[in-house]
């Protein structure tokens, strides 16, 4: 059934391939510097490599926005995003896959009664704006650098033409790699929490995680989209918005490739972190916005007279309409899938404010008098608890979100055999595995209880509170490992 449900994610991948390949090679194809078949082959190879080897960076931020915890829900969210993209792409307007999947996830949050993590939403949305401006600025800078070089060059036009063609291939490959790394989370990221794929260890030399296998399937669906439907969108980006020359096409592609890489590379993020330099958030940004920003940057550098502002207005409208439309379609489809087809689109949530959870909340320094209306009660939706706490007007939003997490019930039982069967043992150190073995057979009602017992081993201890970006990054990596344990050790009450 997983592969049946995954079809909507593969449909979304097809949509991304049809839409976003134009952002990489549209300018090059429409200036006749590259043939479509060659551009498609380069894109297919390097998008796949980027997705498999570096796609996990942006997926973490998207997961914090909303973690879809049921297979039916992941199917519906992906389907809503894919339908939104298809509707807009059919009229020849490139639209952001990042924005549609974010809108669809918010629709799931609304339907399931979960609270949207506005901090992650602001990070993602502000990155879209930052990426657009950064791309335009880089393109403008490259244009002003390249213009005098080209004007002073004594090379024959044919020699320049050959150079540009080879440069478009190299930069296009880099751009495709960056696109796969940055946007694969949009395609199958919602399936990560419910993926059945096990980690594979091939001869002790190569390790392929379950997530990488999922990303590979998503990348293959992108390739299908590239070959079947991407040519129409290439025209809008490469020709209709602004008439590009081969040199300006190369500049636009270079700016886009750089920006996508900046927002996708965990290696670059770690290097900046180790040097104490400001980091760039690892978030899925819109390749559509990035390439349009680059084209606009070049157009403004040339005086802005040849920019087709009516086309830019249509694209801008799609950026606003896409997430709103995706959220509405997602909410509607979730209702239909759950009530008409009787499929589970969310896991049943349970929150309880009993003696243990109240004591834990007090230990963390929160004002328990603000819990007077929830004390002794149980809830099924985060939104209901939030309203009760907000009415007390004693806690800020972040405090309320933390309290809700502490009250959430998760039936967990430590079973190292499950971890072994999933192939995930390679992700943990020897000391961490030893601590897990020591807890074998123990049961827990809350995640924080298991975390407290694990933290007796130093390698499982989170910085609380983290006082630097290095500590925050360490916490994020460790929290990812803890999430793997929670999924492995969760107990189905109906089977107990």
Q: What is the pLDDT of residue 237?
A: 56
Residues of the chain with pLDDT under 70: 27, 92, 94, 203-204, 232-243, 306, 311, 493-496
The 3-state secondary structure of 40-67 reads HHHHHHHHHHHHHHHCHHHHHHHHHHCC
Rounded to whole angstroms, the maximal C-alpha distance in the chain is 82
In 3D space, the residue among 6, 476, 482 whose CA is nearest the CA of residue 213 turns out to be 6
For residues 50 and 178, is the Cβ–Cβ distance under 8 A? yes
For residues 251 and 142, is the Cβ–Cβ distance under 8 A? yes
| Overall residue count recorded for the chain in this entry | 496
Q: What's CA 58's distance to the chain center, in Å?
A: 5
- Residues sharing a CB contact under 8 Å with residue 12, sequence separation 6 or more, in sequence order: 78, 79, 81, 82, 85, 97, 101, 186, 187, 188, 221
Please state, in angstroms and rounded to a whole number, the distance separating the CA atoms of residues 265 and 84: 28
In 3D space, the residue among 459, 463, 492, 467 whose CA is nearest the CA of residue 476 turns out to be 463
Q: What is the pLDDT of residue 495?
A: 45
- Three-state DSSP class for residue 208: strand
Q: What is the pLDDT of residue 243?
A: 63
Q: What is the pLDDT of residue 246?
A: 82
Please state, in angstroms and rounded to a whole number, the distance separating the CA atoms of residues 432 and 439: 11
The pTM assigned to this predicted structure is 0.89
Q: What is the pLDDT of residue 45?
A: 95
DSSP single-letter state for residue 242? S
Q: What is the pLDDT of residue 232?
A: 66
Q: What's CA 17's distance to the chain center, in Å?
A: 16
> Residue 413 belongs to what H/E stretch?
strand 412-413
For residues 144 and 301, is the Cβ–Cβ distance under 8 A? yes
Q: What is the pLDDT of residue 199?
A: 86
Please state, in angstroms and rounded to a whole number, the distance separating the CA atoms of residues 98 and 283: 9
- Residues sharing a CB contact under 8 Å with residue 164, sequence separation 6 or more, in sequence order: 33, 246, 247, 250
Phi-psi region of 7 (alpha: psi -120 to 50; beta: other; left: phi over 0): alpha
């Amino acid at each position: 059934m997983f592969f049946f449900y995954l079809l909507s994610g593969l449909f979304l991948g097809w949509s991304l391939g049809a839409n976003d390949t134009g952002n990489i090679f549209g300018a090059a194809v429409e200036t006749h510097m590259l043939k479509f078949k060659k551009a498609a082959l380069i894109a297919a190879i390097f998008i796949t490599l980027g997705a498999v080897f570096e796609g996990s960076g942006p997926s973490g931020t998207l997961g914090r926005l909303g973690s879809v915890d049921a297979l039916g829900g992941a199917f519906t969210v992906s389907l809503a995003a894919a339908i939104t993209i298809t509707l807009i792409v059919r009229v020849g307007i490139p639209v952001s896959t990042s924005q549609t999947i974010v809108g669809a996830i918010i629709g799931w949050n609304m339907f399931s009664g979960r609270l949207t993590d506005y901090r992650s939403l602001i990070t993602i949305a502000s990155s879209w704006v930052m990426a657009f401006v950064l791309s335009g600025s880089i393109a403008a800078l490259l244009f002003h650098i390249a213009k005098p070089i080209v004007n002073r060059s004594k090379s024959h036009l044919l020699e320049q033409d050959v150079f540009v063609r080879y440069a478009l291939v190299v930069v296009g490959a880099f751009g495709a790699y960056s696109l796969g790394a940055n946007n694969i989370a949009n395609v199958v990221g919602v399936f990560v929490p419910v993926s059945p794929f096990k980690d594979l260890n091939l001869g002790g030399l190569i390790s392929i995680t379950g997530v990488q296998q999922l990303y590979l399937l998503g990348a293959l669906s992108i390739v299908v989209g590239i070959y079947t439907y991407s040519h129409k969108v290439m025209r809008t980006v490469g020709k209709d918005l602004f008439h590009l020359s081969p040199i300006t096409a190369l500049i636009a592609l270079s700016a886009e490739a750089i920006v996508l890489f900046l927002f996708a590379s965990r290696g670059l993020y770690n290097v900046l972190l180790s040097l104490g330099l400001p980091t760039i958030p690892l978030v899925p940004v819109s390749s559509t916005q990035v390439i349009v920003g680059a084209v606009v940057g070049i157009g403004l550098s040339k005086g802005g007279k040849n920019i087709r502002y009516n086309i830019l207005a249509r694209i801008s409208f799609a950026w606003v309409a896409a997430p709103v439309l995706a959220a509405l379609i997602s909410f509607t489809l979730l209702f239909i899938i759950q009530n008409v087809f009787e499929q589970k689109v969310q896991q049943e949530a349970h929150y309880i404010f009993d003696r243990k959870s109240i004591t834990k909340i007090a230990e963390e320094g929160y004002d328990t008098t603000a819990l007077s209306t929830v004390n002794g009660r149980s809830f099924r939706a985060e939104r209901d608890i939030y309203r009760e706490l907000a009415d007390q007007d004693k806690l800020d939003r972040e405090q309320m979100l933390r309290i809700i997490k502490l009250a959430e019930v998760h039936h967990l039982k430590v079973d190292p055999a499950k971890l072994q069967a999933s192939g995930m043992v390679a992700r943990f150190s020897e000391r961490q595995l030893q601590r897990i073995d020591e807890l074998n057979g123990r049961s827990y009602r809350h995640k924080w209880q298991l975390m407290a017992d694990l933290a007796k081993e130093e390698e499982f201890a989170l910085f609380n509170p983290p006082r630097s970006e290095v500590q925050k990054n360490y916490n994020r990596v460790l929290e990812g490992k803890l999430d793997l344990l929670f999924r492995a050790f969760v107990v189905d009450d109906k089977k107990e």
